[in-house]
Chain A
Amino acid sequence: MVWYPSVIPMSESESYSTNDDVYEQLVAYLDGELDAETSQQVERRLAENVEYRRELQQLQRAWDMLDELPRAEVSESFTQTTVEMIALSVAEELATVPRRNRLRAWSVWCAAGIGPLLAALVGYLAVSSYLDRPNAALQRDLPVIENMDLYEVADSIDFLRQLEATGLFAEESDDAR
Chain B
Amino acid sequence: MALSDTTAQNYELRDPDVRLMLQVRNDNAAAFEELVQRYQGRLISVLEQLVHQRDVAEDLAQEVFLRVFRARKTYEPGAKFSTWLFTIANNVASNARRSLARRREVHLIPPQNADSQATPLEQLALEASGLMPTRQVDNRERAEMVRQAVSTLSERQKMALLLSKFEGMSYAEIGQAMGASTQAVKSLLSRARCNLRAALEPYMKDGVVPECHPDE
Q: Mark B35-61, 1 if CB is under 8 A from A, else 0.
A: 011001100110011000010011001
Chain B residues near A62: list those with CB within 8 A.
149, 193, 196-197, 200-201, 204
A24 to B193, CA, bound (A): 10
Chain B residues near A74: list those with CB within 8 A.
40-41, 44
Whether A85 contacts B146 in the complex (CB less than 8 A), given A23-B190, A27-B193, A79-B40, comes out as: no
What is the predominant secondary structure among interface residues of chain A facing chain B? helix
Say yes or no: is A31 at the interface (Cβ < 8 Å to chain B): yes
A70 to B191, CA, bound (A): 23
The answer on a CB contact under 8 Å between B204 and A58 is yes
The answer on a CB contact under 8 Å between B48 and A86 is no
A89 to B62, CA, bound (A): 11
Report, as a range, how many residues of chain A touch the other chain.
35 or more
B residues neighboring A (CB under 8 Å): 29, 32-33, 36-37, 40-41, 44-45, 48-49, 54, 57-58, 61-62, 65-66, 69-70, 139, 142-143, 145-147, 149-150, 161, 164-166, 170-171, 186-187, 189-191, 193-198, 200-201, 203-204
A-B contact pairs, 13 of them (CB 8 A): A3-B194, A3-B195, A4-B194, A28-B190, A58-B197, A58-B201, A59-B197, A65-B146, A69-B45, A69-B147, A74-B41, A86-B32, A89-B66
A residues neighboring B (CB under 8 Å): 2-5, 20, 23-24, 26-28, 31, 33, 58-59, 61-63, 65-66, 68-74, 78-79, 81-83, 85-87, 89-90
